[in-house]
Amino acid sequence: MSIYDVPVRALDGAEASLADYKDQVLLVVNVASKCGLTPQYTGLEKLHEKFADRGFVVLGFPCNQFGEQEPGSADEIATFCSSSYGVTFPLFEKNDVNGPDRQPLYDVLTPLADSEGNTGDIRWNFEKFLVDRNGEPVQRFSPLTEPESDELVEAIEKLLG
């Protein structure tokens, strides 16, 4: 299954489609508002702004599975992200990323290994997946990888050409 075929909903619950992002390089991130890694929103927004004109988009998928660090409603998440971090990149409906109710997008993403060989279940908030312009997941990054790290920026630039 292509990521473009995966059913998704916008943060407000409205129907959405990843096909809207065809021909763009994507960074898919499971996000949370009350996590020690939450300040990564700043770097994610900077990446989104820096590369947007070259066909790059960050896609945020809130998840409450790790220490209940995303307890808020859709409105609370939207307000927090915009007022605390100036987030302008798309946010999607809060979903599970592991287990029987996993958002199907993560069935497509999680077989990919990170640089340490980790595959399968998401380990924590802010795990990142780089997806090429054809909708193929090509690289997985640890939650501890900072959005503006050389490793991630170089991978994005390579895909943008």
Annotated catalytic residues are 35
Backbone angles phi, psi at 8, to 5 degrees: -135, 165
Closest CA to 114 of 125, 96, 102, 130: 130
Say if residues 89 and 128 touch (Cβ distance below 8 Å).
no
